[in-house]
Structure 1
Amino acid sequence: MFSGKVFGAVAGAAVLALSATGAFAQAKDKIKVGFIYVGPVGDFGWSHQHDQGRQAIEKAFPGKVTTTFVESVPEADSERAIEQLARTGHDLIFTTSFGFMEPTLKVAKKYPNIKFEHATGFKRAPNLSTYAAKFHEGRYITGVIAGKMTKSNTIGYVGAFPIPEVIAGINAFYLGAKSVNPDVKIKIVFANTWFDPAKEGDAAKALLDQGVDMLAQHTDSPAPIQAAEARGKFGFGQASDMERFAPKAQLTAITDNWDDYYVARAKAVLDGTWKSEDTWGGIDAHMVVMTPYKNMPDDVKKLAEETEAAIKTHKLNPFKCPVIGQDGKEIECKGNGALSDEQVLGMNFYVKGIEDKIPQ
């Protein structure tokens, strides 16, 4: 979900947090926290991981926090669900898909005394925070693995929608593969859904039919990696550990850890210290977690571990400059030796070497 973080003492990790003017807050003895999910909690991917974070809140504050959730909410119809939570006594509401951004902002303006948090968005208000994770860091690592292990030199990627978070992930995956295999090619199919196992599976099969032997995904169900296993190919879990669905195919999974963030934000409402912020944490902040590297040669595992360590310690940035666009022109480098956070969060181009075109 775009799709794509303040832990404080709870996580004890370095996290990028950009503060905005906070809404007036008072300490509370008890609070009610609500969640809006774009998919079912049983997707074993994106929504499942957010729900793990919801459960972490309940475990952290027994008797002080009650939580509710609404699952499988279409982005186009999300305002009604968000408003319903606002009207039913919730103190803090998390909306967890990019397409929920405008509806969340609209409802937040109507209820200034309620705290709202939107995952992967960029619009804030005094009572509305934003948060996301640097998923592209994990995708660079999976790209390195795919580049080393492919025998056909053709790797595949199932995307949900051509939004910046997904585009950045595709670019990072390809750049990781290209860093170890100059001959690698990537093929991309968009499923145009976050969660639809049939469509995701069809997209994966279309890629496999084109000769890919490494399959990454930015959709929410295990269908793509299951399709890879059925063909004797390899893939990567998305958002949560999908090894149970494809034990022979999964090389690793990029898992989202929301637990610490959700616990910290609920605590802030209880303490009366909540304020509107933007948080974007990666591997170093333990918001992006790689599952154990399996089904690969020892030298590839070692390289994956070294790449992860380099990203964690900021010795490696997936978008280190120069970054060359698909048109062969160098992208202006607005960060410190790498593309800036704003450039990554708003990425709307493919890098050089990707032959597919971004759907309009």
Structure 2
Amino acid sequence: MAIDKSAGILTRRGLLKSTGALTALASTGLAGKLTAQEPISVAGIYTVPVEQQWVSRIHVAAEAARAAGLITYTYSENTANTDYPRVMREYAESGAQLIVGEIFGVEQEAREVVLDYPETAFLMGSSFMPDEAYPNLGVFDNYIQDASYLSGIIAGAMSETGNIGMVGGFPIPEVNRLMHAFMAGVKESKPEATFQVSFIGSWFDPPKAKETAFAMIESGADMLYAERFGVSDAAQEKGVLAIGNVIDTQADYPETVVASALWDFGPTLAAALAKVGDGSFSAENYGTYSFMKEGGCSLAPLGTFEGKVPQEALDMVAAKEAAIKDGSFTVEINDEEPKSS
């Protein structure tokens, strides 16, 4: 049986301070509906440690829901893709009502499992859209292109050379779209900017990300896009700036990380729990709950960089954010692999 942890605690980066997830759950009215019944049994299956950026957002939202009494929660981390279908089956057999995780590396194998457990709801990060052939499989992704675009505006304004280094995990849609949005934002405030783009071929290899970032700094980058852990360490050591992704790491890099595009999985989980609770869970795209207008993403506070970002850039960020929220401006979703310029 896969290792379960029902009350895992993260001690770094303040990941359990996700008031956004609790707020999102409460704002749906879900708390009142679900606390009157038995908590929903939720299991998480993650291929990386729960402190990894992307997975941490799912884990934090689940922990918030557990603390609110809405769910019971167990999880397995560092699950190899070859073991993923087996762990899915084990949780389904154990009675989990909702299984969450990420199946990017096991898309077809996971779907075979889903069909064997029609009474279990599966909410999985996926590169594909929902398919009615798998009615109990809801898919999602971190569509935080809105916040990435805004962080790009700040990055462009803070870069003196306009040479921007970008280090990603893999060139897949969920990474590509954020990079493109960031690059578009940079161009708003620094039209002449150029980009160094590289992928390290791993979701969690901080040393490799750090070495890649060092090479970019050597090639003139004075601003780094830290899609992976390790990039901000390189920026800090070399005295250049960085933009964070998915979580706010400024507390760890107070003189380095200017801003971050944050993902809050709370709205996504709240929507799924509501449907599991009333029996209406089906094959749907839950990715839209990551949009800024849904409360699924935001720009982190400037914190230590308050007063250091040019006012012109801040005014542009405020105007664009308002337009995104009222629907008058849409950040393009471009899933193609970004290239160096």
Q: TM-score range by the shorter chain?
A: 0.7 to 0.9
Q: Offset of 1:349 from its aligned partner? A: 4.8
The AA in structure 1 aligned to 2:219 is: Q
Structure 2 contact 267–294 (Cα < 8 Å) conserved: no
Which letter does structure 1 place at the counterpart of 2:327? H
Q: Which amino acid aligns with 2:254?
A: P
Q: In the alignment, which residue of structure 1 is the partner of 2:231?
A: 224
> Are residue 297 (structure 1) and residue 309 (structure 2) matched?
yes
* Distance (Å, rounded) in 2 between the aligned partners of 1:179 and 1:254: 17
Among 178, 187, 192, the residue aligned to 2:187: 178
1:123-202 aligned within 5 A? 123-124=130-131, 125-202=134-211
Relative to 1, partners in 2 of residues 1:113 and 1:28: Cα closer, same or farther, differing over 3 Å? farther
SS state at 2:302 partner: coil
Aligned to 2:320: 307
The letter for the 2-side match of 1:255 is L
| Secondary structure of the corresponding residue to residue 152 of structure 2 | helix
**C-alpha separation between the residues in 2 aligned to 1:28 and 1:186?**
52
Residue 50 of structure 1, aligned match among 58, 65, 90: 58
Counterpart among 269, 288, 300 of residue 276 in structure 2: 269
Query: How many angstroms does 1:237 deviate by?
Result: 1.8
Distance in 2 between the 1:253 and 1:355 partners?
22
What SS does the aligned partner of 2:63 have? helix
CA shift for structure 1 position 10: 5.2
The total of aligned residue pairs comes to 304
2:120 aligns with: 114
Higher helix share: 2
> Which residue of 287, 306, 317 maps to 2:330?
317
Unaligned runs of 5+ in 2: 1-22, 29-35
- Can you list the C-alpha shifts for 1:248-300, whole angstroms capped at 9, x where unaligned? 11111111111232233223323323233112231111111211124232413
1:203 aligns with 212
1:348 maps to 336
Partners of 1:77 and 1:155 in 2: CA distance: 38
Q: Which has the higher contact order (CA 8 A, sep 6+)?
A: 1
Partner of 2:78: 72
SS in 2 for 1:244: coil
In 1, Cα distance between equivalents of 2:241 and 2:24: 38
Whole-angstrom CA distance in 2 between matches of 1:154 and 1:225: 16
Task: Check whether the contact 1:233–1:249 (CA below 8 A) recurs between aligned residues.
Answer: yes
2:44 is aligned to: 35
Whether the aligned pair in 2 keeps the contact of 1:311 and 1:317 (CA below 8 Å) is yes
**Alpha-carbon distance change, 80 to 202 in structure 1, aligned in 2, over 3 angstroms:** farther
- 1:86 and 2:74 matched: no
Contact 2:102 2:126 in 1 (8 A): yes
TM-superposed CA distance for 1:34, in Å, is 0.4
Unaligned runs of 5+ in 1: 1-6, 13-26, 320-343
- Aligned to 2:266, which of 239, 259, 269? 259
1:241 alignment partner in structure 2: 248
> Any idea what SS the aligned residue of 2:111 has?
helix
Distance 1:164 1:121 in 2: 7
Identity %: 26
Partner amino acid for 1:49? R
